[in-house]
Amino acid sequence: MGFYKDNKDKVETNGRGSGIVRWAAVVVVSALVGSGATVVMLPMLNNSGANLISSLAPVTNSTPVATTVSNVTVNDGIVAAVKKVKPAVVGVVNYSMQQSNYFSQQSQLQPTGVGTGLLFYKDNQYGYIVTNNHVVEGAAKVSVVLNGSKHIDATVVGTDPFTDLAVLKIPVANVASIEPAQFADSSTIQVGEPAIAIGTPMGLDFADSVTAGIISAASRVMPVQDPQTQQTLDYEAVIQTDASINPGNSGGPLLNINGQVMGINSSKIVATGFQGMGFAIPSNEVRNIAEQIMQTGHAVHPALGITGYDLSTLPQQYWPNVPVDYGVWVKDVTSSDSQAAGLKPQDVIVGIDNHVVNGMSDLRTYLFQKSPGQTVTLKVYRGSQHLTLTVKLGKMNVNAASSGNSSGSTGLIPQGNSGSGGTGGSSSLNPLTPPSSFGN
């Protein structure tokens, strides 16, 4: 998803700048940076190419279910959850064309990365596996590894860079005895509840690795970056956990104590003096995007057509005269539909369809459950005036992802929720993106 380092390494850093354009790209990671700390946001893909791996786990179908609390001890619950899901967890191997040796002009397929995937659906022909986009990005060939050893060529059905998700398919005969994973309702996740990660860290030698921890935060906003260009494509609300997530875990499940999938593991923060900060894409978003890709080969995202920021983190000089200290401050309105509905710059969005909007995370999470062409009702403050506006959603511009352009009218959503980065100087996201929007 994201990638951060401090200036000592002359790479990307994350912190808060004085100007609004620089400030807009700041994300929550900067609040973790202390004096002299190095922070790196890494996608959890093992690129060694040495040991190909798989990890499996059993589940049920893709319909989300309400999270329930069972009267079991945590240890017993973890064992039962892993047994339930493990058969549906698979290894995903990315192959690319590599020159066979320094003196040869010939190229051949070589394994260049190993991640994890999860069987979430099957029909009469295929089993469908969800993983991360960065696991299969640039692959000339992808294979799925069952039971840690059986390699099966997989077809990439489609990818979605904006959410860092991808869907693969393999002939259903290979997974005939395996039940697809059952998704939890990620909107019901509680901070402090057990979290279990299954994956393939560091390659085949460590297939089916299980780690456990808790949910550290139900929603953090982190950047989704292009694996090749490192340009920020979008900002995504993710689950934070202290369950160990390591290279190769990308695309694997984060489970609750009942063996339901709360999210798909995607990244972690690597920082001097910090540990236990991994992130997973919430299951409600995974299910929505994976089903779209499975059915059409791509995902379509709605666009509200604004450039906006968390009101709570606006620099004082931009603070509007409104009677609230939460919501999304609208800098620009880029959509003709939003303009026609009466939405204006300087408005503060505090609600959408009877849901409170505390900031960008709330707004983005709700919008990504909608479809282009649908309408939403916004609660807006314009100064002291409280307005209700009905807005038709547009469609996010996906060309920005394919072209590597992260400059504005692409439906991107910056969080703007960060601290100063501690006492050791500021750190900033690089490449620095201009103020992002919900689309045209």
- State residue 399's pLDDT score: 57
Residues involved in catalysis? 134, 164, 250
Q: Model confidence at 39, in pLDDT bands (50, 70, 90)?
A: very low
> DSSP labels for 329-345?
EEEEE--HHHHHHT--T
- State residue 20's pLDDT score: 33
Indicate whether this model's pTM tops 0.85: no
Q: Model confidence at 199, in pLDDT bands (50, 70, 90)?
A: very high
What are the C-alpha distances in Å from 93 to residues 35, 89, 193, 207, 297? 39, 13, 32, 12, 20
Distance, in Å, from the CA atom of 115 to the CA atom of 243, rounded to the nearest integer, reads: 17
SS (H, E, C) 101-164: CCCCCCEEEEEEEEEEEEEEEECCCEEEEEECHHHHCCCCEEEEEECCCEEEEEEEEEEECCCC
Query: Is there a contact between 34 and 420 (Cβ–Cβ < 8 Å)?
Result: no
Written as six digits, the tokens of 343 are 């939405």
The 3-state DSSP class for residue 338 equals helix
Q: What is the CA radius of gyration of the chain?
A: 21
The alpha carbon of residue 113 and the mean position of all alpha carbons in its chain are separated, in whole angstroms, by 19
pLDDT digits (tens, 9 = 90+) for 377-427: 999 999 999 999 999 999 887 654 443 333 233 243 333 333 222 323 222
pLDDT digits (tens, 9 = 90+) for 401-410: 443 333 233 2
Q: Please give the single-letter amino acid code of residue 309.
A: Y
Distance, in Å, from the CA atom of 116 to the CA atom of 233, rounded to the nearest integer, reads: 22
Query: Is there a contact between 179 and 149 (Cβ–Cβ < 8 Å)?
Result: no
Q: For residue 52, is pLDDT > 60?
A: no
The count of other CB atoms within 10 Å of the CB of residue 102 is 5
Distance, in Å, from the CA atom of 391 to the CA atom of 369, rounded to the nearest integer, reads: 15
Share of the chain above pLDDT 90, in %: 50
Mean pLDDT of 251-267: 97
Domains of the chain: 44-296 (2.40.10.120), 302-395 (2.30.42.10)
Share of the chain above pLDDT 70, in %: 71
Mean pLDDT of 236-261: 94
- State residue 112's pLDDT score: 87
pLDDT digits (tens, 9 = 90+) for 116-150: 999 999 999 999 999 999 999 999 999 999 987 88
Q: Which helix (H) or strand (E) element contains residue 254?
A: strand 253-255
